[in-house]
Structure 1
Amino acid sequence: MLKRTPLFPVYAEHGARVIDFGGWELPVQFSGIQKEHDAVRQQAGLFDVSHMGEVLVSGADSLSFLQKLTTNDVSRLETGQCQYSLMCYPKGGVVDDLLVYKLGDDSYMLVINASNIQKDVDWMLQHALGNVDLNNISDNTVLLALQGPRSEQILNKLTDAPLATLKPFRFFQNVEVNGMKALISRTGYTGEDGFELYIGDIDAVDMWKTLLEAGQEFGLVPAGLGARDTLRFEARLPLYGQELSKDITPLEAGLSPFVKLDKGDFIGRDALANQKEYGVTRKLVGIEMIERGIPRPHYAVYAGEQKIGEITTGTQSPTYKRNVGLALVDSAFSQIDTELTVEIRGSLVKAKVVATPFHKRK
């Protein structure tokens, strides 16, 4: 039986095409991936991402627990600030990537990937020492992502919160949005400006309808997982299971800014420090096809006769109409403009290494 978010009943009203996504029945598209992608780049899109997991961490030892558990430096956070981070295995591979929200002294919220919720919670419980309380609130929390250059104007119609003062990776707690309570953050997973609204499941449908109505004059559309994937890909934001996994370390994925080796010990630190010292043998790079063909996940990448890696994500960029991909390749072939080939349906098709991200916000 597939799991459903509290918004499942309204999908059909917008003509959603639903798919099985890691055990969840979720909309891959509403009006079409290209249309939804363009709306987020130019106006705004509204995503139901309630399948994501949320875990509250509290207690006197919560900071030291999170320092041990994650790669980034949690001690740098002020209340009302969040950070991108990763949980690693002792050998340096990734348990999950996540966001850490500091709600108050000794009080945090972790936002984790839907397909990893149980695995992540088990991992946390296994490593929780001292006065640490973990509360998995995923089932009662709805998460809506309002993304795109018009999102601030849309949300301003519904709340008195000073959104213009909310910097990236900051959040407001207990904000009233058209009479409903929300935690509002500004992190984004699309390469555009945008807000996340964490609300109680009871308000899900009302909030969805309220936002869409408020956004009508600004071109807001409901958007599905298809556009979410193409948007995050153009911005070179990683997806767990593709750019990150138990076999791919944060350093190989180009995420060294989120690995603070100098903060003290954490799970996986020794392996990552070693990798940093001796250099990674594999690197995540951008590639663009020179000849016709679209690179897809798991397609093999070659330098001459030698297989040097594979595509992690690839598609035709909806914004730029270029056939591009991210590939994890042998570091010796990671220089910009290096010519490679991608095996597409039995043929080796010419490509080259290019700079990323493919899209930068204007």
Structure 2
Amino acid sequence: MKEVALAEKHKALGAKMVPFAGYNMPVSYEGVNAEHQTVREHLGVFDVSHMGEFLVTGEHALELIQSVTSNDAAKLVDGQAQYTCMPNEDGGIVDDLIIYRFDAEKFLLVVNAANIEKDWNWISKHNSMDAHLTDLSDDMSLLAIQGPKAAEAMQSLTNVDLSAMKFYTFEVATFAGMEKVIISATGYTGSGGFEIYFKNECAEEIWNKVMEAGADYGIKPIGLAARDTLRLEMGFCLYGNDIDDTTSPIEAKLGWITKFNKEFVNSEALKKEKEEGAKRKLVAFELDERGIPRQGYEIVNEKGEVIGNVTSGTMSPSLEKGIGLGYVKTEYAGFGKKINIQIRKKAIPATQVKLPFYKG
């Protein structure tokens, strides 16, 4: 079990620590609902240092990235980030990730913690053009400072105008007295904020200064459990739940990050699937009655026939109702259409809705 640089800090703060993706991580401090509302209303800080970071450099860096990812990274300009995925050869997804472009020959790929080794091997396997790859995962820490007060609260720590940063842009600057920190206007909560990348040895000082700067704004440490409820309210996919090696980006409604103006792994098959239509679709639903949908629960039609499965589900702290994502046969998919979630022995009626669940 790996430990992040701030593990002792989390334990001292009373965090409940759990194994997650090979790391000992804080899942909660004072409870999911309270932490969730802190991020929606004020700001919270997540330690997500378990995420993986790969540096791709050299004259063939973009060529490699274009060949293994579905989105068009050629559209990126310096200081811009992009959400994308890596399709596999069988119609599924190796991982979803964020690409950061520093310049024409330097990119950072941020991948999911559970997939670090798998992703590294996959990218290396396709590196026939000899781009230079460096795995920075064990040397870097990452804090997600999220919530509507994030820009105002963190402004005293940097000369970068945080309120002026556009979504999915980043700067390398001094932050909390530390040089060469990546300040990224990205996040996984839907409540605004920043993700801060830095060397492990800076972790404790940056954490302390972040908590100090945010004290008057109600900042609190937030665990992975609230991160999950926050992202689900926005309808963001979680790898291992809503997308995996068996789900295609077309099924998962990730057609918007799947660009066919270039060739990439399995692009021809995915293009065909888009043209012909997927056999199943990822849908969002709200329960019409009390209940909590969970991953793996069956989705059934009015006759009780299984038409799909729930991939993510929870009791939404913001909406105070059961919400979820799941795959259903395409003929049953559609906004406003009714489905039923099999919760124990009862089929609970649910309505398909447009994302996000939480409108802010």
Q: So what's the TM-score if we normalise by structure 1?
A: 0.97
Q: 1:223 corresponds to which residue?
A: 222
Question: Secondary structure of 2:263's match?
Answer: coil
1:315, distance to aligned residue in structure 2 (A): 0.8
Q: Does the aligned pair in 1 maintain the 2:290–2:321 contact within 8 Å? A: no
The letter of the residue matching 2:307 is I
Q: Which residue of 1 aligns with 2:241?
A: 242
1:170-249, aligned counterparts within 5 Å? 170-173=169-172, 175-181=173-179, 182-249=181-248
Displacement, 1:212? 0.7
> What CA RMSD, in Å, does the superposition of the two structures yield over aligned residues?
1.0
Code of the aligned partner of 2:136: I
Q: Match for residue 53 of structure 2?
A: 54
Equivalent position of 2:279 in the other structure: 281
> 1:96 aligns to what?
95
Q: Secondary structure at the match of 1:60?
A: coil
Q: Deviations over 1:229-286 (max 9, x none)?
A: 0000000111001111011111111111101012x11002012101111011111111
What is the letter of the counterpart of residue 297 of structure 2? Y
Asked if the contact 1:230/1:317 (under 8 Å) is kept, the reply is yes
In 2, the alpha carbon distance for the partners of 1:112 and 1:131 equals: 21
Q: Pairwise mapping of residues 277-316 of structure 1 onto structure 2 (< 5 A)? A: 277-303=275-301, 304-316=303-315
CA distance in 2, matches of 1:126, 1:150: 43
Residues 233-242 or 287-296, more deviating: 287-296
SS of the residue corresponding to residue 261 of structure 1 reads: coil
Measure, in 2, the Cα distance between the counterparts of 1:22 and 1:199. 21
Structure-2 separation of matches of 1:12 and 1:66: 38
Q: 1:178 to 1:288 in 2, by over 3 A?
A: closer
Contact 2:11 2:17 in 1 (8 A): no
Preserved contact between residue 99 and residue 110 of structure 1 (Cα < 8 Å): yes
CA–CA separation in structure 2 for the residues paired with 1:339 and 1:162: 46
Give the distance between the partners of 2:70 and 2:185, measured in 1 at CA. Answer: 21
Residue in structure 2 matched with residue 35 of structure 1 by the alignment: 34
Q: Which string of whole-angstrom CA distances, capped at 9 and with x for unpartnered residues, describes residues 27-76 of structure 1?
A: 11011111110011010010000000000001111111111110000110
Between the aligned partners of 1:353 and 1:151, the Cα distance in structure 2 is 33
1:304-360: CA deviation from partner (whole Å, max 9, x where unpaired) = 232110001111101110111111111111112222211111322222222221013
Report the count of equivalent residues.
358
Unaligned ranges ≥5, structure 2: none
What secondary structure does 1:195 align onto?
A: strand
Asked if 1:126 corresponds to 2:125, the answer is: yes
- Residue 333 of structure 2 aligns to which amino acid in structure 1? S
CA distance in structure 2 between the partners assigned to 1:20 and 1:96 by the alignment = 20
Paired position in structure 2 for 1:146: 145
1:270 equivalent to 2:268? Answer: yes
- Residues in 1 aligned to 2:338 and 2:236: alpha-carbon distance in whole angstroms: 24
TM-score, normalised to structure 2's length?
0.97
CA distance in 1, matches of 2:246, 2:130: 32
For the Cα contact (< 8 Å) 1:60–1:131, is it kept in 2? no
1:59-74 alignment runs, 5 A limit: 59-74=58-73
